[in-house]
Copies of this chain bind each other. A is one copy, B any other.
């Protein structure tokens, strides 16, 4: 069973996850991942059919760091702000050192004219590692319902 303190820490982790992306605070966002993390963005269709294709595949934290660097460059050409609304996380498995957590997400984008639109909806299927009671992402799997993504997938989902 998960303790109340652990559950609060899980809520805080997901609040931080979306907020730090939307504020462009990517160094702090990287701190939410362990060094041997995985981060994958997969169309729901591929997952359902057992196809291996990913939109993004990072097999460790260095690949995620590279991604952030690329993002900082790419953002020069496709300027927008993202806004994450993340649903209540479900803790589906709780061990002494690892948690399995699921949550739905929606991401909106606003362009430089202040026009906003729905960008992506989907879900997170994550494994968290507890480090001194603080949860960090060990495996983050982003399953994208909206795989017909209407513009450059630069900002993380």
A interface residues (Cβ-Cβ under 8 A, vs B)? 4, 7-8, 11-12, 14-16, 18-19, 22, 43-45, 81, 83-90, 102-106, 108, 110, 112-118, 120-123, 144-149
A7 to B8, CA, bound (A): 9
Cβ-defined partner of A121 (8 Å) among B7, B12, B110: B110
Residues from chain B with Cβ under 8 Å of A89 in the complex? 15
Q: Which of B7, B15, B116, B123 contacts A146 (CB 8 A)?
A: B116
Measured between C-beta atoms, what is the minimum distance from A6 to chain B in Å?
A: 11
State the Cβ distance, A157 to closest chain B Cβ, in Å. Answer: 12
The interface residues of chain B lying within 8 Å CB-to-CB of A8 are 4, 7
A–B pairs, 13, beta carbons within 8 Å? A4-B4, A11-B88, A14-B88, A15-B89, A44-B110, A83-B106, A84-B87, A85-B105, A106-B106, A108-B118, A108-B145, A114-B147, A116-B145
